[in-house]
């Protein structure tokens, strides 16, 4: 979904030459109508369109499309990317989009889909709640939600403490480090008290934190 015709045509031609099937729409309403009738492996969404901000309609899009969602936008600053990840965006591409990078992401998602066609996360974040595999719901603070969004964006890979401090507190001083460790401890406790399943967050002293859920 891209409203700038020249950019859309460039991307479509590039991807089609590489055997990627593409359906293009240029507005949110067109996209929602298309999703009512067609199932796609992957969506590439432009954040700002003539009829609004796609994030305002993200829950509806996600309900209609259970697959992967990529987002591209000129709003590439960290707070804007976090907004996307908190909603559930799988990958965020700042404009101008590198087409080779886009192709690599699409090909990677295709490989994952073919190797684990039914794999879906048992953990979900809906609004301000963490939904556990046993159905238990844990209310999240804004910072807890941002912490989980960061980790779940790169499952199996370590997210370093310094990077987390910047994302959560916009700084790396010692007091913020203590605050972050306390927040993570409280989050683990909340999940343990509410759910029969442990939070799949592993701590590695030198590397940081890893979302270790096994699909």
Q: What's the 3-state SS for 121-135?
A: CCCEEECCEEECCCC
DSSP per position, 17-67: HTT-------SHHHHHHHHHH---SEEEEESEETTEEGGGGHHHHHHH--S
152 and 186 in a single domain? The answer is: yes
DSSP per position, 75-108: --SHHHHHHHHHHT-SEEEESSP-HHHHHHHHHH
Q: Please answer whether residues 48 and 73 qualify as being in contact, where contact means their C-beta atoms are separated by less than 8 angstroms.
A: yes
> Per the structure, how many domains does the chain have?
2
29 and 111 in a single domain? The answer is: yes
From 115, 137, 172, the end of a domain falls on: 115
CATH number, residue 158: 1.10.10.10
| pLDDT bracket for residue 117 (50, 70, 90) | very low
Best CA proximity match to 143, nearest among 177, 127, 167, 124: 167
In the chain, pLDDT over 90 holds for what percent of residues? 37
Tens of pLDDT, residues 45-73: 998 888 999 999 999 998 888 888 999 88
The dihedral built from the CA positions of residue 115, 37, 81 and 2, taken in this order, carries a sign that is positive
9 and 43 in a single domain? The answer is: yes
Tens of pLDDT, residues 167-195: 888 876 777 888 898 999 999 999 999 99
Give dist(CA 114, CA 130) in Å, integer: 28
CATH number, residue 105: 3.40.50.2300
Tens of pLDDT, residues 99-109: 998 888 888 77
105 and 130 in a single domain? The answer is: no
Q: Please answer whether residues 178 and 122 qualify as being in contact, where contact means their C-beta atoms are separated by less than 8 angstroms.
A: no
Q: Please answer whether residues 170 and 180 qualify as being in contact, where contact means their C-beta atoms are separated by less than 8 angstroms.
A: no
13 and 110 in a single domain? The answer is: yes
Best CA proximity match to 126, nearest among 105, 109, 148, 110: 148
The answer, yes or no, to whether residue 116 has pLDDT greater than 70, is no
Q: Please answer whether residues 138 and 190 qualify as being in contact, where contact means their C-beta atoms are separated by less than 8 angstroms.
A: yes
Q: Which domain holds residue 150?
A: 124-211
Say what the pLDDT of residue 96 is.
Answer: 85
Tens of pLDDT, residues 77-88: 788 888 888 888
41 and 91 in a single domain? The answer is: yes
87 and 58 in a single domain? The answer is: yes
From 90, 115, 140, the end of a domain falls on: 115
Q: Please answer whether residues 164 and 180 qualify as being in contact, where contact means their C-beta atoms are separated by less than 8 angstroms.
A: yes
32 and 103 in a single domain? The answer is: yes
Instruction: Report, as an integer, the average pLDDT of 21-45.
Output: 90
Say what the pLDDT of residue 112 is.
Answer: 54
Say what the pLDDT of residue 113 is.
Answer: 53
107 and 132 in a single domain? The answer is: no
105 and 42 in a single domain? The answer is: yes
From 67, 83, 115, the end of a domain falls on: 115
**CA-to-CA dists, residue 13 to 1, 17, 20, 194, angstroms:** 14, 6, 10, 50
11 and 102 in a single domain? The answer is: yes
Angle between helices 161-169 and 174-194 (to 10 degrees): 90
111 and 135 in a single domain? The answer is: no
């Amino acid at each position: 979904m891209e409203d700038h015709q020249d950019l859309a045509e460039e991307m479509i031609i590039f991807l089609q030459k590489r055997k990627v099937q593409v359906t293009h729409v240029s507005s949110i309403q067109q996209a929602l109508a298309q999703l009512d009738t067609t199932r796609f492996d992957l969506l590439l969404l432009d954040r700002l369109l003539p009829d609004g901000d796609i994030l305002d309609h993200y829950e509806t899009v996600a309900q209609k499309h259970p697959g992967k969602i990529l987002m591209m936008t000129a709003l590439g600053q960290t707070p804007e990317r976090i907004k996307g990840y908190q909603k559930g965006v799988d990958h965020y591409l700042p404009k101008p989009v590198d087409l080779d990078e886009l192709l690599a992401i699409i090909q990677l998602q295709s490989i994952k889909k073919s190797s684990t066609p039914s794999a879906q996360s048992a953990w979900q974040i809906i609004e301000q709640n963490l939904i556990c595999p046993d159905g238990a719901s844990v209310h999240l603070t804004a910072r807890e939600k941002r912490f989980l969004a960061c980790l779940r964006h790169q499952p199996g890979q370590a997210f370093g403490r310094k990077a987390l401090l910047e994302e959560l507190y916009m700084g790396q001083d010692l007091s913020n480090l203590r605050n972050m460790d306390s927040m993570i401890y409280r989050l683990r406790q909340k999940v343990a008290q509410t759910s029969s399943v442990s939070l799949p967050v592993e701590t590695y002293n030198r590397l940081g934190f890893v979302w270790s859920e096994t699909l």
